[in-house]
């Protein structure tokens, strides 16, 4: 299905977006050929930068008629290869869709897909409002990509993920028709939930051009603490215990020793004195409007932690200290990746099963000869597994590691978890989908895809396994 | 598409469920022929009461092969006619699916569809956990019905609706295949969201046989206050103001004067002394674990209310007083209905637009000659409109009222709201769907229906308009 675009086709596309917004030079194509997934680069045949929904519609109508693949491209921070143009075709960079409107009266944000998540969060905060989803890449990822992959982040355990904030979407369908998926309301029992079908569909069902987000009143206070554990398994156990004590923290992050060590070497301005025997840390935050309440919650948490072997808890006293700890946590992914070629999995299980998952990951590593660095949103049961190539041979990397990944995924599913908590399936996980879903479920998904995109032009070769007939 | 079941077909069905669980007598059929929607009764041709998922599967396989309609029946409290067997066929009463399992370790409930919502809430509470959705019919509606209609309730403004708690569903498809829709995890970016597609699909895409629900740690305290407003429009205005002051109440209910008067006559053990000039009330609750924090929130709310013309606020001092106020609020629907033949609409708009909606409803009543009583979950922008027949002529009731309803729905949609917030579309609203959705959107929904149920056996004649080709 490799795509060749004739000069005639390119002229038609240029007529839609204008000559300033069509690119066929190799550097630009390569620039839009990657996201943050391993070291892949699949350049689109042409990069288009439409400026209006109508232009997106015209492009899709044209692509559909000519059966040209179209891959919507956002912040290029994806970790599952969702934005890779694996069959070439049109790379549809949405970067000109960058407007934000904050509707203070209804506590809603109407936001275009290319808005950087952090910019949107700050725009809400400037009006005393709060958009909770905060993927670690929030400084460079886009809201459109967040919706496409159903991104999460550190605050999801208390506030939910992207899907929990999306009220309504303007979407261009494969045939160029423009629809809204729902209404701008907090509740909606009016027909099938097209909004939630679109969220997390990774650009395979339509191109999102506008998003109506729910916002919350902002919280004024929080307490942040870093807890060193002498046993990594106990850090995982503590996670479920905190919830069982009746507390819902606003963040509960797990980091293995390697993750924190590598990160401290990677980022500037953060230093920590960690005892040799410490195996893992939990970063715990509670938030709200009443400091007394937060102190009481923090005390309850310390009561829970007493039963585990921990070192002294570090409380972040100032905003600067809090920012430094969050900067460190957010940099873990990049730090780990800067060390070596790697593969990252985004396993998720019911919270209480975390210790079992961690033990299973380490066992798989032993069996197949790889080292892994684990960290992530433990409060959600969401553990990022970074498998490090280090000095493994290419042969082992290509044959043994996939077996290990398969076993890890089989374990997550046996624990009633699944393959991806917040990164999506995209390109790199699609051939593991048979572990989470049987033929019936996969065929349902394929039939839904077929309803929205009968010519398979929208981000082809993603989510569904290659061998699905 | 009226269904006749031959003795041969009935024998086959009896062989699946056993002779004790198949009913063809008229009283039983009539018993299962209604829900709480107006005075409709559409008896199924046969009532089956399967006991296992496998039996449901065998029934659907058989029904699909023989093109017999199947309507899943829960607590029969629906308000949109979702459980009416309008084409006869099999009335699939799920009443034997009534097990509850509370997974304290993961804060989840695994619950079968016939469990009464209140029983489930109490089972969670007994373990210190909280299942927030609380439709007014919680004492008799079922969790399965709640999922099918995406039910809401008074706590939705802070805690969300049913869909926000459903993690995973066991579903029997039209062809008898049994699937799980997702995983038992708080986050999931693994393929299309079949779970959320099923929630709110009103039994038209599959039969739900098991539900995995997210639970929260229980809150220990709340404050409940009843606020009389001299102007109904100001009560609506106050709703958005409270949120803009940074408060998220756990309930914010609106009741017009008639609603409260009729209810006080209807329920025992609740009495209130209301001034003649009071036009409406807000019932406001805040909840949490820290009484001081709740007092502070209540004070903030009183600060907001000062700007409106209100009478003295009633604070419920004891659990008994709280229960009495909630009993009254929950009885409004029944009280209004006991007065007269009625039609109930479930309009929903962005919160700030409530005053405009209320004024529009009253204007439509004036224009088309009907009286309406409005109440509902104002914090969500969800207003239940009860149109009272009273002494209207049948002719006006049948010709003028539908015109008025159409205008009210057109208004909700123009305000970026929609037809139903929590009752579903079912039978009685389906021919207004063209107001909320255009042909493209409706055809997408129809195609999705077709993927799941190509023979249209599952709850046929619901959600989608009759004239959709």
Number of residue pairs across A and B with CB atoms under 8 Å? 284
Name chain B contacts of A245, Cβ cutoff 8 Å: 217
Q: Which helix (H) or strand (E) holds B42?
A: none
Asked if B193 lies within 8 A of A163 by C-beta distance, the reply is yes
The predicted-structure confidence for A272-300, as pLDDT tens digits, reads as follows: 999 999 999 999 999 999 999 999 999 99
Percent of chain B with pLDDT over 70: 100
pLDDT at residue B341, as a whole number = 87
User: Do residues B329 and B281 make contact, with C-beta atoms less than 8 angstroms apart?
Assistant: no
Smallest Cα distance from B136 to chain A, Å: 16
For residues B445-467, average pLDDT: 97
Distance (Å, whole) CA A180 – CA A165: 16
For the sheet with A280-288, list strands across it. Answer: A314-315, A221-229, A280-288, A251-256, A371-377, A382-388, A342-348
Interatomic CA distance for residues A348 and A361, integer angstroms? 12
CA distance A182 to B441: 10
Residues of chain A with Cβ-Cβ distance to B105 below 8 Å are 240, 244, 350-352
* Closest CB from B128, B177, B216 relative to A248: B216
Whole-angstrom distance, CA of residue A183 vs CA of residue A168: 6
Contact between B417 and A184 using a beta-carbon 8 Å cutoff: yes
Chain A CA closest to residue B380 = A186
Position A250 confidence tier, pLDDT thresholds 50, 70, 90: very high
Of B156, B189, B217, the CB nearest to A149: B189
Boundary of a domain, candidates B72, B93, B114: B93
Q: Is A416 on the interface with B (CB under 8 A)?
A: yes
- Say yes or no for a CB contact (<8 Å) between B187 and A152: yes
B242 touches chain A (CB under 8 A): no
**Which of A58, A93, A128 corresponds to the end of one domain?**
A93
Alpha-carbon distances, residue A363 vs A366, A369, A370, A388, A404 (angstroms): 5, 10, 10, 15, 9
Q: Which of residues 422-451 of A touch B (CB under 8 A)?
A: 422-425, 433, 436-438, 440-442, 444-445, 447-449, 451
Dihedral sign computed on CA atoms, order B427, B428, B434, B438: negative
Q: Which of A187, A220, A437 has the most B C-beta neighbours within 10 Å, making it the best mutation to test the interface with B?
A: A187
Residues B372 and B343: their CA atoms lie apart, in Å, by 9
Q: What is the ipTM of this complex?
A: 0.97
The verdict on B355 and B431 lying in the same domain is yes
Tell whether B227 is covered by a domain. yes
B160 touches A: beta carbon within 8 Å? yes
Q: Is the pLDDT of residue B429 over 70?
A: yes
Among A185, A421, A452, whose Cβ lies nearest the Cβ of B188? Answer: A421
Residues in chain B with CB shorter than 8 Å from the CB of A413 are 183
In a domain, B461, yes or no: no
Contact residues, chain B, for A424 at CB < 8 Å:
189
Nearest to B183 among A192, A416, A449 (CB): A416
How far CA A288 is from CA of A158, A238, B248, in Å, comes to: 11, 22, 12
- The count of C-alpha atoms lying within 13 angstroms of the C-alpha of B26, restricted to the half-sphere facing its C-beta, is 0
Task: Kindly state whether A4 is in contact with chain B, defined as any CB-CB distance less than 8 angstroms.
Answer: no
CATH code of the domain in which A264 resides? 3.30.70.2190
Residues A80 and A104 both lie in one domain: no
Number of domains composing chain A: 4
State yes or no: pLDDT of B1 exceeds 60: no
In a domain, A425, yes or no: yes
Domain of A118, CATH number, reads 3.30.465.10
Residue in A150, A189, A379, A439 to test binding to B, most B beta-carbons within 10 Å:
A189
Q: What pLDDT digit, counting tens, does each position of A17-56 carry? A: 999 999 999 999 999 999 999 999 999 999 999 999 999 9
Q: How many CB atoms lie under 10 A from the CB of residue A440?
A: 12
The CATH code of the domain that includes A44 is 3.30.43.10
Q: Are residues B435 and B347 in the same domain?
A: yes
For residue range A4-21, what is the model confidence (pLDDT) as tens digits? 899 999 999 999 999 999
- The CA–CA distances, whole Å, from A87 to A1, A2, A41, B217 equal 6, 5, 11, 48
Q: What is the CATH number of the domain that holds B385?
A: 3.30.70.2740
Which residue in chain A is spatially nearest to B176 when comparing CA positions? A440
For residue A12, the distance in angstroms to the closest alpha carbon of chain B comes to 26
Nearest by CB to A420, from B177, B190, B451: name it: B190
Asked if the model's pLDDT at residue B2 lies above 70, the reply is: no
CB-count exposure of residue A362 (10 Å: 0-12, 13-18, 19+) = middle
- Give A448→chain B minimum CA distance, Å: 7
Q: What is the pLDDT of residues A459-469, one digit of tens each?
A: 999 999 999 97
**H-assigned helices in A185-287:** 194-198, 232-244, 257-266
Q: Compute the average pLDDT of residues A140-169.
A: 97
- Do A223 and A325 lie in one domain? The reply is yes
Interface with A, mutate which of B162, B189, B293 (most A CBs under 10 A):
B189
Tell me what the mean pLDDT of segment A106-131 comes to.
98
Instruction: Say whether residue A187 is in contact with chain B using an 8 A CB cutoff.
Output: yes
Sheet holding A178-180, edge to edge: A100-103, A108-111, A207-214, A166-172, A178-180
* Whether B201 contacts chain A with CB within 8 A: yes
Nearest CA in chain A to B218: A246
Give the Cα separation of A464 and A449 in Å (integer): 10
* CA-to-CA separations, A90 to A420, A450, A452, in angstroms, rounded: 27, 20, 18
Q: Give the residues across from A214 on adjacent strands.
A: A108
Residue B157 to residue A246, Cβ atoms within 8 A: no
Q: pLDDT digit string (tens) for B5-56?
A: 999 999 999 999 999 999 999 999 999 999 999 999 999 999 999 999 999 9
My answer on whether A353 and A439 are in the same domain is yes
- Asked if B82 and B134 sit in the same domain, the reply is no
| pLDDT surpassing 90 at residue A145 | yes
In a domain, B331, yes or no: no
Residues A213 and A104 in one domain: yes
> Looking at the partner chain, which of A190, A348, A350 has a beta carbon nearest the beta carbon of B106?
A350
Residue B182 forms part of a structural domain:
yes
Say whether both A224 and A213 belong to one domain: no
- What is the C-alpha R_g of chain A? 22
Q: Would you state the torsion angle of the CA atoms of residues A296, A300, A301, A303, taken in this order, to the nearest 10 degrees? A: 140
Q: How far is A5 from chain B (nearest CA, A)?
A: 30
Residue B269's pLDDT is 81
**Residue A452 resides in a domain:** no
> A147 and chain B: CB distance < 8 Å anywhere?
no
- The sign of the CA dihedral A321, A164, A187, B442 is positive
Instruction: Kindly state whether residue A459 falls inside one of the protein's structural domains.
Output: no
pLDDT band at A119 (very low <50, low <70, confident <90, very high): very high
**CB-neighbour burial class of residue B246 (10 A; exposed 0-12, middle 13-18, buried 19+):** middle
What average pLDDT does the segment B377-400 reach? 95
Strand partners, A228: A281
A67 and A112 in a single domain? The answer is no
Does B405 share its domain with B351?
Answer: yes
Q: Give the mean pLDDT of chain B.
A: 96
How many angstroms from the chain centroid is the CA of residue B285? Answer: 21
For B156-186, the pLDDT digits (tens) are: 999 999 999 999 999 999 999 999 999 999 9
Chain B stretch 81-110, residues whose beta carbon is closer than 8 A to a beta carbon of chain A:
103-108
Domain stop point among A76, A93, A110: A93
- The residue-averaged pLDDT of A204-212 equals 98
Q: Which domain holds residue B23?
A: 7-93
Contact A126, A107 (CB under 8 A): no
Say which residues have a Cβ less than 8 Å from residue A209's Cβ, sequence separation at least 6: A53, A56, A94, A97, A112, A113, A170, A171, A172, A178
What integer is the mean pLDDT of B229-254?
95
Q: Is residue A376 part of a domain?
A: yes
B355/B410 same-domain check: yes
Give the distance from residue B181's alpha carbon to the nearest chain A alpha carbon, in angstroms: 8
pLDDT at A2: 58
Which pLDDT score is estimated for A461?
97
Same domain flag for B206 and B255? no
Over residues B89-114, mean pLDDT: 98
pLDDT digit string, tens, across residues A44-97:
999 999 999 999 999 999 999 999 999 999 999 999 999 999 999 999 999 999
Q: How far apart are CA B264 and CA B257, in angstroms?
A: 11
pLDDT tens column, A299-330 = 999 999 999 999 999 999 899 999 999 999 99
**Nearest chain A residue (CA) to B162:** A187
Compute how many other C-beta atoms are within 10 angstroms of the C-beta atom of residue B399.
11
Residues 274-293 of A with CB under 8 A from B: 288-290, 292-293
């Amino acid at each position: 299905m490799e795509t060749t675009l004739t000069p005639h086709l390119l002229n038609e596309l240029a007529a839609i977006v204008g000559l300033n917004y069509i690119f066929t030079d190799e550097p630009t194509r390569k620039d839009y050929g990657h996201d943050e997934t391993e070291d892949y680069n699949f350049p689109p045949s042409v990069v288009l930068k439409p400026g209006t929904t109508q232009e997106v519609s015209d492009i899709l109508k044209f692509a559909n008629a000519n059966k040209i693949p179209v891959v919507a491209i956002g912040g290029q921070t994806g970790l599952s290869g969702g934005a890779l143009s694996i069959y070439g075709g049109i790379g549809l960079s949405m970067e000109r869709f960058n407007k934000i409107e904050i509707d203070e009266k209804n506590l809603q944000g109407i936001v275009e897909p290319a808005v950087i998540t952090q910019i949107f969060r700050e725009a809400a905060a400037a009006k005393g409002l709060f958009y909770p989803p905060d993927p670690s890449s929030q400084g460079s990822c886009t809201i459109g990509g967040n919706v496409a992959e159903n991104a999460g982040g550190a605050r999801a355990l208390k506030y939910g993920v992207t899907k929990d904030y999306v009220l309504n979407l303007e979407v261009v369908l494969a045939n160029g028709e423009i629809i809204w998926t729902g209404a701008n309301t907090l509740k909606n029992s009016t027909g099938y939930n097209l909004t939630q079908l679109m969220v997390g569909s990774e650009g395979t069902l339509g191109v999102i051009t506008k998003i109506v987000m729910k916002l919350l009143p902002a919280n004024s206070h929080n307490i942040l603490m870093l807890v060193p554990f002498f046993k990594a398994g106990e850090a995982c156990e503590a996670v479920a215990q905190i919830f069982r004590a009746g507390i819902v923290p606003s963040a509960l992050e797990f980091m293995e020793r390697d993750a924190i060590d590598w990160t401290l070497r990677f980022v500037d301005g953060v230093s920590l004195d960690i005892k040799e025997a410490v195996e893992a840390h939990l970063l715990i935050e509670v938030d709200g409007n009443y400091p007394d309440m937060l102190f009481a919650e923090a005390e309850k948490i310390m009561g829970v932690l007493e039963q585990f072997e921990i070192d002294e808890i570090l409380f972040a006293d100032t905003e600067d200290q809090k920012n430094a700890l969050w900067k460190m946590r957010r940099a873990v992914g990049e730090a780990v990746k800067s060390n070596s070629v790697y593969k990252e999995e985004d396993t998720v299980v019911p919270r209480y099963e975390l210790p079992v998952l961690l033990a299973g990951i380490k066992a798989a590593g032993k069996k197949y000869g790889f080292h892994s660095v684990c960290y992530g949103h433990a409060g959600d049961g969401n553990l990022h597994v970074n498998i490090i190539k280090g000095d493994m041979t290419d042969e082992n990397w290509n044959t043994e590691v996939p077996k290990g990944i398969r076993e890890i995924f089989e374990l997550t599913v046996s624990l009633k978890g699944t393959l991806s908590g917040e990164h999506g399936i995209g390109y790199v996980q699609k051939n593991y989908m048979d572990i989470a879903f049987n033929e019936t479920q996969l065929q349902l998904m394929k039939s839904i895809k077929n309803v929205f995109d009968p010519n398979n032009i929208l981000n082809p070769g993603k989510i569904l396994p290659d061998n699905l007939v």
